[in-house]
Copies of this chain bind each other. A is one copy, B any other.
Amino acid sequence: MSDPGSIIAALHSCRTILISVHKSPDGDALGSQLALMLALEQMGKTVTAHNLDPVPEIYRFLPHQARITSGPIVAGRFDAMIVLDSDPPRTGLFSDNYPAATLINIDHHITNPGVWPHTWLDATASATGEMIYTLITQAGLSVDRDMALCLYTSIFTDTGSFRYSNTSPQCMRIAATLLEAGADSWLVTENVYESYSFNRLKLLGTVLGEMERSPDKRMAWVVVTDALFQKTGTTSEDTDNFVNYVRSVSGVEVAILFRQAAQKQYKISLRSKGRVDLSSLAQALGGGGHKNAAGSTLDGTLDEVKRKVLEEVAKVILSQMGN
């Protein structure tokens, strides 16, 4: 296990640095990546930012996001590689043969096994962006307006705009400082929460119109199939956040989104209202996550995948909440 001090020390002798985040990058991953890129450039480093998946539409307001490249291949070798907001395999890049001597992993997910020597994990951080803020200030760098917007987006999105229970006094004070450094809170809100494409909102509607729940009402779910994507002219990116609507139903403890990824493959997103801990479930389903959010990808027909997931979730609810 590492800490900000030793990570800063390890980076001192590195000149070229690759930063990557997890597949299907979210606001925390991208905000952290861009802020750290800018900070390292302030230190005179040459930084490459590369992820498997492109930056989703709603995060294209982030400054310098166009510099993030994407795809399965990153050419070249680097002095250091930094993986943010996930364990290294979840980047979907390199499968073990990482192109750097110094390997650094920074994450706030409690499920991260911490395999790399320079792994700094802090499950008490609301977002990886909060850790990057600490790293940057501890390195004696100043947070400029662009970095502030990126880090604000990290904290804002990973706390669900300060709604979730990971909203800590610490993250609110950092957010206050980021606002003072020039982060525009309405810009983030408008892009993240008020820029639905027409097709995406119609997709959300169609999906919610078909929402189902268990007889005990503690579990509700929605399904997005390839056929529906085609019919509505949308892609899987457009389902970002859908599961949160399902969770907002009163009485529901765990919300589930099934999203078709291939003919016989489904991506699963789970959200808990807080009384059910999803950490163990994520592992049981071969995925990742933390207390209130988990995800996985399962092979099988929709019926098979649904049966398995609903069974596992029902078991977890029962074991943790009783009847």
A248, B202: Cα distance in complex, Å: 12
Inter-subunit contact B161/A201 (CB<8 Å) = no
Inter-subunit contact B211/A198 (CB<8 Å) = yes
- Residues A166-207 near B (CB distance < 8 A): 167-170, 172-173, 175-177, 179-180, 184-186, 189-190, 193-198, 201-202, 204-207
A165 at the interface (CB under 8 A from B): yes
Inter-subunit contact A273/B220 (CB<8 Å) = no
What 5 pairs between A and B have smallest CB-CB spacing?
A: A205-B208, A205-B209, A169-B176, A206-B209, A165-B186
Residues of A within 8 A of B (CB): 156, 160-165, 167-170, 172-173, 175-177, 179-180, 184-186, 189-190, 193-198, 201-202, 204-211, 213, 217, 220, 245-252, 273-274
A179, B166: Cα distance in complex, Å: 11
> Please, which residues of chain B bring their CB within 8 A of the CB of A252?
198
> Please, which residues of chain B bring their CB within 8 A of the CB of A209?
202, 205-206, 208-209
Indicate the member of A164, A169, A190, A202 with the most B CB atoms within 10 Å. A169
Give A162 Cβ to nearest chain B Cβ, in Å. Answer: 4
Inter-subunit contact B194/A247 (CB<8 Å) = yes
A217 nearest CB neighbor, chain B only: B198
A286, B107: Cα distance in complex, Å: 53
> Please, which residues of chain B bring their CB within 8 A of the CB of A180?
169
> Please, which residues of chain B bring their CB within 8 A of the CB of A194?
247-248, 250, 273
Cβ-defined partner of A201 (8 Å) among B170, B190, B248, B274? B248
> Please, which residues of chain B bring their CB within 8 A of the CB of A177?
169
11 new A-B contacts, CB < 8 A, other than A162-B175, A164-B186, are A162-B162, A165-B186, A172-B176, A193-B248, A194-B247, A197-B250, A198-B252, A204-B208, A206-B208, A208-B208, A209-B209
Beyond A164-B189, A172-B173, A175-B172, is A201–B205 a contact (Cβ under 8 Å)? no
Beyond A173-B173, A273-B194, is A201–B249 a contact (Cβ under 8 Å)? yes
